[in-house]
Amino acid sequence: MSRPLQNKVALVTGGSRGLGAATARSLADAGADVAITYVASADKAAEVVKQLEDKGVQAAAFRSDQANTTLAPPLIDDVVARFGGLDVLVNNAAIGVESGKTIDDPSVDAAALDRMHATNYTGVIAIIRAAAKVMRDNGRIINIGSGLGSRAGRPGFADYAATKAGLTGYTKGAARDLARRGITVNMVQAGLMQTDMQAPSPEVLKLMVSGLAIQRVSDPAETAAVIAFLAGPAASYITGAVIDSNGGYTA
């Protein structure tokens, strides 16, 4: 098997479940040593670490609450201390709260929305800033967005969509800032995956699928493969790009 990421160190935020866990496995299959973060699921994170080690790479899990920006620099320090450097950063961890509630709904929990902005946006930026200072030349930063960042599509997702659209702008600016060191920065806009974040009723799921060009939910491994490609040497001339892996939701 080709191992284009051998001797590379990757950090995948939110690697304990869902797309993050699938991405960690894809990067390990490509030969990278992989650090993951989590906030609550210590057991699931430990299980993913075991799966990665079984693939013959080094792996470790770090508990770090992404909503707290002061924890970003020590997280990056810990990863570098444990693995000796950093080559690939996948900003995957995010939450979706108050989904489906319109902004004028009196029951909307503003504090929950604020925590989502902190987790999905300011927390990600803090990690990118800390990582950019130490990332090795020719590194890769891949931010995970959503089709909702390009097209809200239905009511009740303004705040979630804004966190992802904001990251698109940061992706492009960071791509300009870091290109002189060969570091690329890209966004993958993921689509409908049946993870813990996305567990709608069968009726709502049917409605969501009907809005896609490819009328099915995706396996997280499909998007993890796109992320692994962007992390590899073959993607050296792609930066500042927003790549849709969402079944044509934005088509």
The residues of the shown chain that bind ligand NAP, judged by CB under 6 A, are: 13-20, 37-41, 44, 64-67, 92-95, 119, 144, 146, 190-193, 195-198
Tell me the closest approach of the beta carbon of residue 84 to ligand NAP, in angstroms: 23
- Between 8 and 44, name the residue whose CB sits nearer to ligand NAP: 44
Tell me the closest approach of the beta carbon of residue 195 to ligand NAP, in angstroms: 3
For this structure, is 160 an active site residue? yes
Tell me the closest approach of the beta carbon of residue 58 to ligand NAP, in angstroms: 20
Compute the distance between CA of residue 125 and CA of residue 163 in angstroms, rounded to an integer.
Answer: 11
User: Is residue 234 packed enough to be buried (19+ CB in 10 Å), middle (13-18) or exposed (0-12)?
Assistant: exposed
Tell me the closest approach of the beta carbon of residue 103 to ligand NAP, in angstroms: 19
Cβ–Cβ contacts within 10 Å for residue 133, how many? 9
For 113, left (φ over 0), alpha (ψ -120 to 50), or beta?
A: alpha
**Of the residues 38, 121, 160, 170, which is catalytic?**
160
- Between 3 and 242, name the residue whose CB sits nearer to ligand NAP: 242
Compute the distance between CA of residue 226 and CA of residue 179 in angstroms, rounded to an integer.
Answer: 21
Query: Active-site residues: which are they?
Result: 160
